[in-house]
Structure 1
């Protein structure tokens, strides 16, 4: 197992839940999810009253708002987000069997961590380490929600993987690609016009990258959780 790398980078927490609700509405996420603006606001208000917010992320269930619809809503350096061209199956990356999502359209993700300390680990190495710490890896859609709410969480040389989402092949084995969110260099098939744009892509489960941490959370909960 690689050594954990200390970092002094301060990762910003999401804004208050009410502000997050307005951000989702402004971005049209409620329409993607088939929800009313009132429903988003009502959930945020109830969650704020019940939990105090505590730095939680307001997430929409991936069955309601898939990654392909959310990625273009991201923005960095004035460039919209995109999914890499060789990930046309991005919405087939679903939660690991070890991850139980609240059975509600909206839920909270608490105790967010970008996972900088695990930079230069492979997904195969990071996943059991997170489990041993009783932490849960973020889903791709949750990572997109985090960047949508707090764009500063995505930095050059400090981007992150979302290994809670994986693609299952015929027979149930996992595809060896693992999703991540980073900033495009505008090279190759990305195109120069996409330099500095937020990018949803993938890396091999056995490979290490010095600029990718492993985003995780403490727990997920609905209003009844």
Structure 2
């Protein structure tokens, strides 16, 4: 197994957020932003021995910045595809103001705070061409939970290569209470945040999930 240093990866993810200007988007200073994020090092290092090196579709942990700190509309354009520069976009079939009404499922029991860490992230390509409702049921049986929009954006922010042709993914942890499931896919050489129906399978769309979360 390739050596993996959790502390070095933690620092890399922080640097990515700083380089993208997250403190300014959060309307705070870099020092204050670091004060929010740095305490997450402890739960990451506590699991360091069990964390596996990242692969294209599965990574050990993610620093997740919630919309309470940086609005979704500002986080999406900071994403790109691997080796590309076109900024991510929001699908126009989200009505004006509607995206904010898609909220995280209560049963996920997300950690409190504006920033937290999610563990064992999988883009769920095994669920390509599987009805999202069936994929969600399979995750529940495994004790895993679907990613939220914020977690999906964190995923491709830190690992742009995770979003690949025919290996895009739904984010079933954020819903509006109807049949729509948010998803990230590729359009015109850039990430796009859209949604698909919970009962419709797509050959190119899996369902991303997490093994756990901590604040």
2:184 counterpart residue number = 181
Matches for 1:38-117 after TM superposition, within 5 Å: 38-52=31-45, 54=51, 55-76=60-81, 77-88=84-95, 89-117=98-126
Whole-angstrom CA distance in 1 between matches of 2:100 and 2:115: 18
Whole-angstrom CA distance in 2 between matches of 1:35 and 1:132: 41
Whole-angstrom CA distance in 1 between matches of 2:205 and 2:24: 32
1:170 counterpart residue number = none
1:170-213 Cα deviation digits (max 9, x unpaired): xxxx22111000111xxxxxxxxxx1111111101110011111
Establish whether residue 214 from structure 1 lines up as the match of residue 207 from structure 2.
yes
**1:22 CA displacement:** 1.5
Whole-angstrom CA distance in 2 between matches of 1:117 and 1:78: 28
2:195 counterpart residue number = 202
**Contact map agreement 2:185 2:193 (CA 8 A) in 1:** yes
**Contact map agreement 1:59 1:108 (CA 8 A) in 2:** yes
Whole-angstrom CA distance in 1 between matches of 2:80 and 2:123: 18
SS in 2 for 1:98: helix
SS in 1 for 2:106: coil
Whole-angstrom CA distance in 1 between matches of 2:92 and 2:67: 21
1:51-95 Cα deviation digits (max 9, x unpaired): 326431001123222322211111122211000111131221101
1:64/1:42 CA distance change after superposition, 3 Å: closer
1:192 counterpart residue number = none
**Contact map agreement 2:111 2:213 (CA 8 A) in 1:** yes
1:138 counterpart residue number = 147
**1:38 CA displacement:** 2.0
SS in 2 for 1:56: strand
1:43/1:97 CA distance change after superposition, 3 Å: closer
Uncovered stretches (5+) of structure 2, i.e. residues with no partner: 1-5, 52-59
**1:45 CA displacement:** 4.1
**Contact map agreement 2:184 2:191 (CA 8 A) in 1:** yes
**Contact map agreement 1:18 1:44 (CA 8 A) in 2:** no
TM-score (norm 2): 0.83
Establish whether residue 17 from structure 1 lines up as the match of residue 10 from structure 2.
yes
CA RMSD of superposed structures (Å): 1.9
Whole-angstrom CA distance in 2 between matches of 1:148 and 1:199: 13
